[in-house]
Amino acid sequence: MTARRRARILAMVGVLLGGAVAAPGCAVACPAIAYISTVVIDARAVADVVSMQVCIESECTPEPGEEADPMSLLGVERLDDGTWNAVLDTRTPDRLTVRLYDGSGLLLRDTVEQIEWTFTGGACPGPASANTVVLG
């Protein structure tokens, strides 16, 4: 993920969360602190993976050869150790569709993975961490 894309994501999250948010009838006010939910996906056991697509319900990162929607906060990047980092904006879905492609754009695997999140935001929605999703 480029520095420009990261900056755009953080700016959009700031706009989305701008101002303090309180639920009607609640005394809890949540500060507008931008956070990004990510999950590491380990696909090293699958041969010939060159690109990955992730989807939350019907919203997906681009397939190979497609351009990214500049307004989407979803993203996926390959890390130096061969794993992948899926950026899910501020969402923490229970399930994530993961599609793996080879260098010619051929779909190698299409799977739905369960994700378990640990929330650290207390009374407010906020940062969460997830266990690495290992694809075998």
pLDDT band at 16 (very low <50, low <70, confident <90, very high): very low
Render pLDDT for 28-85 as a digit per residue (tens, 0 to 9).
566 666 678 899 999 999 999 999 999 999 999 999 999 988 888 899 999 989 899 9
Rounded Cα distance, 82 and 61, in Å: 19
Which CATH number belongs to the domain containing residue 45 in this structure?
2.60.40
* Residue 18 within a domain: no
Cα separations (Å) of 21 from 30, 69, 131?
5, 28, 29
**How many CA atoms within 13 Å lie on the side-chain side of 31?**
6
| Nearest residue to 89 (alpha-carbon basis) of 130, 34, 42 | 34
Per-residue model confidence (pLDDT) at position 55: 96
The predicted-structure confidence for 101-130, as pLDDT tens digits, reads as follows 999 999 999 999 999 998 776 666 677 789
Decide if 129 is inside a domain.
yes
Tell me how crowded residue 54 is: count the other CB atoms within 10 A of its CB.
23
Q: What is the pTM of this model?
A: 0.73
> For the chain, how many structural domains are there in total?
1
Q: Which residue has the tokens 């997830």?
A: 130
